[in-house]
Amino acid sequence: MPKKPTPSADELARMLLQVEAKAGDVLMQQMLDRLGQQTFVGGKRVAIEKLPRLPKQAATTVHRVKVSLHGSKPPVWRRIEIPSAMRLDLVHEVMQVAFDWHGYHLHVFETVCGEFGAPDGDDDWAERKDETTAALAQVAAAEKTKVVYAYDFGDDWRHDIVVEKIAPAEPGVAYPRCTGGRRAAPPEDSGGIWAFNVVPGRAG
């Protein structure tokens, strides 16, 4: 019986490279699959959750949230009561009014259910879900949940929205409403939080 030819050193090296390439492809796909199951909320990587159905009680409750401009010193914040069933595209409008923004730039909500933004506001950098398809109560279903609202990807104004309480709506009260806050928000196109923090005479 004829003996099988012994592979040369070059052939062995080529075979080894092929095995390494296949292993690398498998590892890369595993990494991509794992990353696809995660999302970022305020710079923290979390396991992505399926968007739940809107709870029935959301029609009669409000989310009391504290919205803080991330990194501001002294802190800039607002306390707002928002209908639990309000869609995120309308929550965006609430944030704009509360912080005196003017809607010049793109925005995104970072949530445990993934990122949500305007369907016509794709910046080609990330896959975002349509913000008109999700309500506040779906992406922030419990007290202490945090959602991040990022506005103007150049200046990168990041608003930490933390649910303080979910309570029944009061009869005769018009929501949403701002019930408290501290300090004026930055003007549009002013350079971001670092520039804002060094502006003199702003501590009041």
Q: In the chain, where does DSSP find H-type helix?
A: 9-36, 88-98, 136-139, 193-197
The DSSP symbol for 7 reads P
pLDDT value at residue 157: 97
* CA distance linking residue 68 with residue 118, whole number of Å: 22
Q: Which residues of the chain are under the pLDDT cut of 50?
A: 32-33, 35, 203-204
Q: What is the pTM for the complete model shown?
A: 0.79
Torsion sign, CA atoms 84, 53, 164, 145 = negative
Encode pLDDT of 70-86 as tens digits: 999 999 999 999 999 99
The residue extents of the domains of the chain are 56-197
The string of DSSP letters for 122-173 reads: --SSS--EEGGG-BHHHHS-STT-EEEEEE-TTTTEEEEEEEEEEEEPPTT-
pLDDT at 84: 98
Look at residues 121, 133, 132 and name the one whose alpha carbon lies nearest to residue 51. 133
> Under CATH, domain 56-197 is a member of which superfamily?
MM3350-like (3.10.290.30)
Q: How many CA atoms lie within 13 A of 111 on its CB side?
A: 26
